[in-house]
Structure 1
Amino acid sequence: MMKVLVVEDDPFVREMAVTGLEDVGFEVTQAASGGEAMRLLQAGIAVDALLTDIRLPVADGWTVAKAYRERFPHLPVLYVTGYAERTQPVPGGIILSKPYRMAQVIGILGTWVA
């Protein structure tokens, strides 16, 4: 079972993502801020993929992804954003614009399950 960390500060969007992923069999851990995601990393959680908003309180999605990639060098990262972002994702990362459909997210994560 693939373990996914969902980092999203909007409670409605976070719940939609968590429920959608759990409904198709993913094991999901969630964080409501970049700071919370960083605390989970420090606590030693292991994940197979990261789904993160880019604009987050405390630490943005770029910072979260970089920190997770230091520990898990080949971690797939799916960024979601409602803004036009100029910064490039970590290598292997994909940017998906909000609003997104859960089918898009599930399809992308499904290609990373091997």
Structure 2
Amino acid sequence: MKVLVIEDDPFVREMAVTQLEEAGFEVIEAADGGQALRLLQTGMTVDALLTEVQMPEVNGWEVAKAYRERFPALPVIYVTSYVEQMQPVPGGVIVSKPYKLSLVIGLLRPRVRTD
């Protein structure tokens, strides 16, 4: 599974990228929303987005909207320090900062059916 991590804090981004790669995900990283949109314009495809909401230039909502225009069923995990101010996003999950990468990994892994 290819995950695009969009985070403007270099420390948080590097931690997320490293742990997702260790969990077996293919990871592409973007330092901000503008860079993420430029990646979309190249024709790049991803299986999921992990995006900070509050970023300079282009915020996570706008990035997700652009990606979902091309990939309507794309799973999106939004991370923010302002979760109490956020409204539910159809098809997305909002995770409060600070967060554990194990939670994100669990949300990204396909669910195994037992029936």
Q: TM-score range by the shorter chain?
A: over 0.9
Q: Distance in 2 between matches of 1:15 and 1:112?
A: 26
Structure with greater Cα Rg: 2
Q: Does 1:46 align with 2:45?
A: yes
TM-score (norm 1): 0.92
Partner of 1:103: 102
Question: Secondary structure of 2:4's match?
Answer: strand
Partner of 1:32: 31
Shift of 1:37: 0.4
TM-score (norm 2): 0.92
Q: Is the 8 A contact 1:7 1:32 kept in 2?
A: yes
- Fraction of identical pairs, as percent: 64
- For 1:1-114, what aligned pairs fall within 5 Å after superposition? 2-83=1-82, 84-89=84-89, 91-111=90-110
* Structure 1 gap ranges (5+): none
Question: Secondary structure of 2:43's match?
Answer: coil
Equivalent residues, number: 112
* Structure 2 gap ranges (5+): none
